[in-house]
Structure 1
Amino acid sequence: EGAGAGGAELKTRILEMPVFYDDPWTRETLMRFRERHQDPGATDLEYTARINGYPDVPALIAAHAGSPWFVSMVGFVAGLPFLTQMVERAKQIQAPKYLRPRTDTPKLTIGHGGCFGAIYSVRGAGGYQMFGITPMPIYDPSQTISYLRDFMILFRPGDIVKFRPVGRDAYDAAVEEVETGRFTPLIREVDFSLAAFQADPAGTNAALLGVLHG
Structure 2
Amino acid sequence: MAVDPSRIVVLTGAGVSAESGLGTFRDKDGLWTKYDLAEVATPEGFAADPAKVHAFYNARRRNALEAAPNAAHVALARLGAAGAVIVTQNVDDLHERAGARDVIHMHGELMRGLCAACGATWAQQGDMEPGDACPDCGKGPCRPDIVWFGEFPYHMERIAEAIAACDLFVAIGTSGEVYPAAGFVEEARRAGARTLEINLEATGGRFDARLIGPATDVVPGWVATVMDGRG
TM bracket (short chain):
under 0.3
- Greater relative CO, 1 or 2 (CA 8 Å, sep 6+): 1
Q: TM-score w.r.t. structure 1 length?
A: 0.28
More strand by share: 1
Larger radius of gyration: 2
